[in-house]
Amino acid sequence: MDDQQLPPDQMRAADSDRDACAERLAIALKEGRLDLEEYQDRLNTAMRAKTMGELWPLTRDLPEPPAVPEPAELPAHSGRHGSPEWRERLEPWRGLAAMSVILIGIWGVTSIIATEPLLFWPMIPIGFMFLFTLAGAIAGNPGERHRD
C-alpha cells in the first residue's frame, strides 16, 4: 500500500455522497425503519460529515433499498390522456390555461383594489395566446411533417 494513500474511510465526502446518504435515510424513514427523531439526528450528522467514515455508520444498519423496476411502456391507447402523443398535444394548452389563470387573477385583484370591476383586459392577451396555440396545434410539430 502506498504511504500517501488514505484509507477509504478517511477520504473527504462530496456533496453527492452526503445527498446519497440523505436519500437512503429518507427511504428508511418512509419504510418505517427509522423514527422521525432518529432520522433528523442522522440527517444532521450526514450534512455535517466531512469524511466517508462519518457517513458509513449512518446507514450501516439499514438494508439496501429494493431495486426500483423500470416503468413499463404504456400502451398507445391507455386511457384518455395516457399516450405520449396526447401529452404532447395538451402541453401548449396547459400553458395557455396557466397564463389565463394568472392574468385573470391579476385582473381580479386590481378590480378589488379599485372597488369596481375594471375593463376585462385579459381577453386581449388570452385571445392572442389562444390563436397562436390553435395555429400551432393545427400546423402540428414541424419534425413530424418532414418524416418519411
What are 50-69's pLDDT values in tens digits?
Answer: 999 999 999 999 888 766 66
Q: What is the pLDDT of residues 17-60, one digit of tens each?
A: 999 998 899 888 888 999 999 999 999 999 999 999 999 999 99
C-alpha to C-alpha distance for 10 and 6, rounded to whole angstroms:
6
Nearest in space to 51 (alpha carbons), one of 22, 9, 18, 15: 9
Q: Are 52 and 16 in contact (CB under 8 A)?
A: no
Q: What SS3 class is residue 82?
A: coil
Statement: residue 147 has pLDDT above 90: no
Average pLDDT for the chain: 82
DSSP string over 30-89: HHTSS-HHHHHHHHHHHHH--BHHHHHHHHTTSPPPPPPPPPPPPPTT-TTT-SHHHHHH
Phi and psi, residue 51, nearest 5°: -125, 160
Among 52-61, 65-74, 87-96, 110-119, name the one with the lowest average pLDDT. 65-74
